[in-house]
Amino acid sequence: MVHPVAVAGFLVAILPLIATPGASLALLVQYVTEGGRRRALPVVLGTVTGLYVHAALAVAGLSALVMRSSVAFTVVRLIGAVYLIGLGVWTWRTATAAPRRRPRRRTDSVYVQALLANVLNPKAASIYLTLTPQFIAPDHPLG
């Protein structure tokens, strides 16, 4: 059984991370502004899938491996930073382009973009790589 104090501690520790706007919120605002509320679903689904990818990698032991290797952790952070910088440049360029009718984007590319924005996001990875393991007791199964 999960101890209520551990759950409360986890929620307090994670609140600043989830309350801070990130790539997923930027994508959500961009696509909803362009196409209305119906464009939110692929962004939300991509973000949630990304969180499940992080959780699955943590369960598989990748979190422990990356945490014990400063080189692996640096590589994960650099890949994420490069992707987020590229996403920012792409968003900035499309927003500042001369006003013209933009072609409609396919929904699956929005999903993939949101998925990659989450999977390669150093902030999302840090939750599973550094924060979550501190609140899980290895001798007590979660189920």
Q: For tokens 């929620």, name the residue.
A: 11
Would you list the domain boundaries of the chain? 4-135
**What pLDDT does 69 receive?**
77
**What pLDDT does 46 receive?**
93
pLDDT tens, per residue, the chain with 143 residues: 667 887 888 888 888 877 788 888 888 888 898 888 888 999 999 999 998 898 888 777 776 676 677 787 788 778 878 877 887 787 788 777 755 555 555 555 889 989 988 888 777 777 777 777 677 666 665 55
- Residue 125: name the closest of 90, 73, 85, 69 by CA: 73
**What pLDDT does 49 receive?**
94
pTM, full prediction: 0.66
**What pLDDT does 91 receive?**
73
**What pLDDT does 3 receive?**
77
Q: Which token pair is 132?
A: 């979550």
Q: Which token pair is 4?
A: 């209520």
Cβ burial of 129 (10 Å; 0-12, 13-18, 19+) is: buried
